Each structure stands twice: as C-alpha cells, then as structure tokens.
Structure 1
Amino acid sequence: MTRDPGADNRKPDLRKMRGDRAEAEAAAYLERLGYRIRERNWRCRTGELDIVATDGDVTVIVEVRSRRENGRFGTAVEAVTPRKCMQVRATAQVYLRFAGLEGVRTRFDVVAVTYDWADEITEVRHLSGAF
C-alpha cells in the first residue's frame, strides 16, 4: 500500500461539512415540528435519500439543499432541479419497497438551508409537498 504524501496536508471539504451541517439542522428542525426521523443518508444504487421521516401517518422523503446567500449558483430551493426530483422519486421507490412501505401515503418535501459568508445559518426554509 502506498501512502499519499499530501494526505496530511489536505484541507477539509468545506462544502461537504456545510452539507452535513445543513442535514443535521434540517433533521432537528423537522423533529421540533413533530416529525419522526426514520433514516438519514439512506443509499442504494439509484441514489441517496437525505432524510426519511414520518409526519403522522405520512412517510416524508426530504431533500436537503444548502447554499450561501447571494451565491453565484442560485438559492438552495433553485438547486432542486427536475432531474434531481426524478432521481429522488426513483430512490424513494426502492426505499419504500425495501422498508415494506409500498402503498403508504408519501410526500416529498425540501428543506433549504442558507448560509451567510461567515458560514452561519441564516435561514431554514421548509417546503412541504415540494414535488
């Protein structure tokens, strides 16, 4: 096994760290609303579901997006593209089958987390039934 000489000098992946923090904040926000978190970062060959929760008798698939304020890539909500919606729906079908939840009421929500340029969270926006 060869050792990567630059491994000790790598900078942390700030984008991933912000994404992980946004998912944790989204889960905490949903729990405060009374949702029960069933899964976080559930993966299969078709993709990943950020959060699977229940809201009463409804299974809720939550896509979490984060962006910086006034960033050049648009808002967190704008990051949920039609292609992403299709991918999340396909992955949700696999999850529901795997979990024995086929036929249950299901909803797709988005939680958009906005950071300022000092990496402080300035907004958590929840779109219920987003797609």
Structure 2
Amino acid sequence: MTSSFGKKDNRKQKGAAAEELAAAALIEKGFRILDRNWRCRFGELDIVAESGDIIVVIEVRSRSGTTNFGTPSESVNARKMIQVRNTAQQYIHQKHYYERPIRFDVISVMLDVDLTAISMEHIENAF
C-alpha cells in the first residue's frame, strides 16, 4: 500500500520493531515471555508473559514522528480493551491458567525513522 506521499506503508514493520523492543525490555526486567502474537477468533495478544505467578498480557502500541495524534498508549480505547480481555479469556482457557492472576499492561513505544526506540513506557495494570 502506498501513502499519499508515495512512501510504502510500513506499519507492520513498525509494529514488529516495537514488539521486539518491548519483548527485550520485558526480558531485561525479569519477565518470561510465554507467547507472542497469539491469535484466536477474538483477536490477537501482542505479548503474553509471566512475572512471578502473574500472567501478564501486554498490548504494545507505537508511533513514529510526533505525538500530534496522541501518545501510543492513548490509542488503547475501550473497544480495544474489551477485545484484549476477550482474547485473553480464550488464552487462559486454552492454556488452563484458570488459577493464575492476570494483569493487563501497555507498552508505549515512540520510534525514530530508523525504527529504534526514542522512548518506551511500560504501564502496569493499564486496564
């Protein structure tokens, strides 16, 4: 897909770069990554990790350039929260994690043009 400026649309590349940076930061913090890009009919979970006995579902959001349209974390609206919760419910059921506490985090990544992180914010218990 080409934008109105003639540049190739690289949203998937940006999303993948942000998820890679987020996963690396989580591992550095001591999280254990259980799954990435887990899908079912309800949607997709970007990262599912473990922190102690807690299952942590992480929604990764990124932006490049400016925050004129808001920060990446501000793009997680009520509809997205419901979708992530429904998808997580299926994940918990499928993996038999019924007795484990679950937490929903957001990792917000601002990317430079070369897809390196300008900034990253990890919001625990985001929703």
Q: Structure 1-normalised TM-score?
A: 0.86
Partner of 1:17: 13
Whether 1:112 and 2:112 are equivalent positions in the alignment is no
1:68 deviates by 1.9
> Counterpart in 2 of 1:128?
124
User: Quick one: which of 88, 92, 104 aligns to 2:88?
Assistant: 92
Q: Shift of residue 12 of structure 1?
A: 5.6
Instruction: Specify the alignment match of 2:4 in structure 1.
Output: none
Higher RCO by CA contacts (8 Å cutoff, separation 6 or greater): 2
CA contact (8 A) 2:45 2:87 kept: yes
Alignment of 1:21-100 (within 5 A): 21-100=17-96
Q: Secondary structure at the match of 1:98?
A: helix
**In structure 1, what is the equivalent of residue 3 of structure 2?**
none
The more displaced of 34-43 and 77-86 is 77-86
Deviations 1:9-31 (A, max 9, x none): xx764111010010010000000
Which of the two has higher C-alpha Rg? 1
Q: Deviations over 1:55-104 (max 9, x none)?
A: 01100000000012424432101111111001000000000000000131
Taking only aligned residues, the RMSD between alpha carbons, in angstroms, comes to 1.5
Give the C-alpha shift of residue 117 in structure 1. 4.4
One-letter amino acid matched to 1:34: G
8 Å CA contact 2:18, 2:111 repeated in 1: no
Q: Percent of aligned positions with the same letter in both sequences?
A: 48
Q: CA deviation at 1:51?
A: 0.3
8 Å CA contact 1:111–1:127 kept in 2: the answer is yes
Structure 2 length-normalised TM: 0.89
Which runs of 5 or more residues in structure 2 are unaligned? 1-6
